[in-house]
Amino acid sequence: MSSIDTKKAEELEKKAKKQSPWAIARRKLFKNKLAMISLAFLVVVTILAYLAPVIAPFDPSRVDIINRNSPPGGDYLLGTDNAGRDVWTSLLYGARTSLTIGFVCMFAVVTIATVIGSISGFYGGWVDAVLMRFTDFMMNFPFLVFVIVLASIFREAGIWALIVVLSVLSWTGAARVVRSKTMSEKENEYVMAAISIGGTPFKVIRKHVLPNVMTTIIVQATLLLAVMIVAETALSFLGFGVPSGTPSWGNMMQEARQPHVIRNAWWIWVPPGLAITFTILAINFIGEGIKDAFNPKSLR
Amino acid sequence: MLLYTLRRILIMIPIMVMISVVVFALALAMPGDALSGQIDPANSDPEYIEEMRERLGLNDPVHVQYGRWMAGVVQWDFGRSFVHRMDVTEVIGQRLPNTILLSVMSLIITYILAFTMGRYAGRHPYTPGDYGIQGINYLMLAIPSFVAAIFAIFFFSFQLGWFPATGSVGSGVTPGTFEYYLSRLHHAALPALVLGGLTTASYTQFLRNDIIESSQKDYVRTARAKGTSENEIYNKHILRNSIIPIVTLFGFDIASIIGGAVIIETVFAYRGIGELLISSIDRRDSSVVVAVTLMLSVATLVGNLIADLVYGVVDPRIRVE
């Protein structure tokens, strides 16, 4: 009798181990075809971007004065731009710039948002009040206007200034989400138990609260990656982003600010335009997939 | 409600003061003379600059300068624009009608598109039509506004020739005539379509999900049991309930339109506030930049206020506390 019970208990335990929330989520995510195709696309784009020095046929700053504005074909797979640079080479190097800025900004923003959100949600009281009033205050700025004005002031400082400006102005929404999730997590008994056995607030947040807030943070991070890439390309397009000598998807689109380029030289602006759109689309699908995978209510 | 409104407006005052301090700090960091706009940015003679700074009080302590600037701002005096050679308020006044026209048109387009698509998708969920609309939504969310604008110019202006590619009014039309207003509408149509089209996605999704959720509710079953026609159930019973949450998004729209207009106006060389901001930064016309930044910040703040107030009207629980 007792042996059957232990056997059953063991079996149940085994099953329970198999069915950890992360395992369920991973299985669900792997079944999501759209998310998997998007992930594959993003991985391929990232690999191409970082292998740019190896696979690009030309030097990114090489200028071919005779073959300016030449259509696709011949030596140049995707044609050349106004200055005689190879569009395919610029596209590869541009991907590297745009993706790097996107990823670095994403990590910076997620770090700021996690620190402020978890401290605010865990401590509550006046700490929460001060931090949240500050967050509300930051939320009142029109994001793009302030990014443009700040980026124009620090225009000479280069890419790092751009990353700092973008990160400092865009953590508010994610911080709020992390805070509310931390607050609801804090009410659970295990947190109380952790505090009661003498865990310091920092340790309790790091070891007990954060792992449970992680899913929310991951979903926020994917959304932010898309937002940051769009912000960088839009700024570069307007001339306030990456310095014009460095290829980036936004800088490539900048030439399309002249109507005659839009009308006559589609090969200059169509490749970066499609690259940005499909990358954002892929990131959004991955984000949706992750969100869906961690949602216990979803049927998939 | 009155108490709630008053409280909400009172909270705004300290935020406005803090925003003005931030904008003032930015103004001090800008090239040239951002507060009054009277120093010639092309003249680099140090003696001239020092003399002008002394005369304009730019060497005074910071708080004195801030006080003087604020005193001007509340009297609607933002200094002069060095590039345009007139008062900043006048420069902005010339551009403002264009931006308002663009925003109103884009809002109308957003509501019409979102309403049509959301209603269809909500009434026929999980059909090819619904999936098609969802696909369009995903694309609208992903494509950045400037990319969409360039594709739109290529197809609608150059390939089809339906709309002018740039500008805010045709040349050779006399102001005040019927053709003049028609030309302005014609020039605003394509930017408004891009700006409005890209923001429909969230509205459509919201409306669709709300209609699907409502169609499972008891009052709908009651209506069906009474023999009410499907059309009447969807158009009268469900739609009236589903429109309420949509209304609350309106305030937030003001903020997103402000950001969107800066980019769209620049791509279309449409002479509005956003294009003014970008071109003023390029020409180092700092006094205009400061005024536009302050104005757009206040507009965003007012947008958030409207969103909160409308929300308070729709959902009375918000007003408590």
CB contact under 8 A, A140 and B304: yes
Q: What is the CATH number of the domain that holds B221?
A: 1.10.3720.10
Is it the case that residue A163 has pLDDT exceeding 60?
Answer: yes
* Average per-residue pLDDT for chain A: 84
Is it the case that residue B245 has pLDDT exceeding 60?
Answer: yes
| pLDDT of A300 | 46
Claim to verify: residue B135 and residue B229 sit in the same structural domain? yes
Structural domain boundaries enclosing B72: 2-87
At A276, the pLDDT band (50, 70, 90 cuts) reads very high
Average pLDDT over residues A36-58: 87
Q: Is the predicted ipTM greater than 0.85, yes or no?
A: no
Least confident of A58-72, A88-102, B204-218, B289-303: A58-72
How is residue B161 written in tokens?
């020739």
Question: Which of B26, B263, B301 is nearest residue A153 as measured by Cβ atoms?
Answer: B26
Question: Which of A152, A233, A237 is nearest residue B281 as measured by Cβ atoms?
Answer: A152
What are the chain B neighbours of A168 within 8 Å (beta carbons)? none
Claim to verify: residue B39 and residue B140 sit in the same structural domain? no
| pLDDT of A118 | 92
Domain boundary among B87, B108, B125: B87
AA identity, residue B282: D
> Residues 202..231 of A with a Cβ closer than 8 Å to B: which?
226, 230
Is it the case that residue B88 has pLDDT exceeding 60?
Answer: yes
Interface contacts (A, B; CB < 8 Å) = 101
pLDDT digits (tens, 9 = 90+) for A116-162: 999 998 888 899 989 988 888 888 888 888 888 888 888 777 788 88
Claim to verify: residue B184 and residue B306 sit in the same structural domain? yes
What are the chain A neighbours of B139 within 8 Å (beta carbons)? 277, 281
User: What CA–CA distance (Å, rounded) separates A190 from A194?
Assistant: 6
Return the residue in B11, B147, B190, B209 with the most chain A beta carbons within 10 A, the one to mutate for interface testing.
B147
At A61, the pLDDT band (50, 70, 90 cuts) reads confident
What are the E-state strand segments in chain B?
A: 80-81, 86-87
What are the chain B neighbours of A266 within 8 Å (beta carbons)? 154
Is it the case that residue A14 has pLDDT exceeding 90?
Answer: no
pLDDT digits (tens, 9 = 90+) for A188-239: 888 889 888 988 888 888 888 888 888 889 988 998 999 999 999 999 998 8
User: What CA–CA distance (Å, rounded) separates A138 from B70?
Assistant: 21
AA identity, residue A48: L
Domain boundary among B55, B87, B119: B87
pLDDT digits (tens, 9 = 90+) for B145-180: 899 998 888 888 877 878 877 777 777 777 777 777
Return the residue in A37, A132, A149, A285 with the most chain B beta carbons within 10 A, the one to mutate for interface testing.
A149
Average pLDDT over residues B6-18: 86
Claim to verify: residue B45 and residue B114 sit in the same structural domain? no
What are the chain B neighbours of A142 within 8 Å (beta carbons)? 255, 258-259, 296-297, 299-300
**For residue B264, is it within any domain?**
yes
User: What CA–CA distance (Å, rounded) separates A280 from A276?
Assistant: 6
Q: How far is CA A163 from CA A98, A108, A166, B142, in A?
A: 11, 9, 5, 21
Claim to verify: residue B76 and residue B112 sit in the same structural domain? no
Higher-confidence residue: B200 or B252?
B200
What are the chain B neighbours of A135 within 8 Å (beta carbons)? none
How is residue A108 written in tokens?
């910076």
Claim to verify: residue B52 and residue B186 sit in the same structural domain? no
Return the residue in A238, A257, A284, A288 with the most chain B beta carbons within 10 A, the one to mutate for interface testing.
A238
Do the beta carbons of residue A92 and residue A52 sit within 8 Å?
Answer: yes
Which H or E element spans position B276?
helix B273-282
The count of domains in chain B is 2
Least confident of A123-137, B70-84, B213-227, B254-268: B70-84
Claim to verify: residue B15 and residue B35 sit in the same structural domain? yes
Do the beta carbons of residue A61 and residue A222 sit within 8 Å?
Answer: no
Is it the case that residue A73 has pLDDT exceeding 50?
Answer: yes
Q: Which residues of B touch A (CB under 8 A)?
A: 15, 18-19, 22, 26, 29-30, 138-139, 141-147, 150-151, 153-154, 158, 165-166, 255, 258-259, 262-263, 266-267, 277-278, 281-282, 289, 292-293, 296-297, 299-301, 304
What are the chain B neighbours of A275 within 8 Å (beta carbons)? none
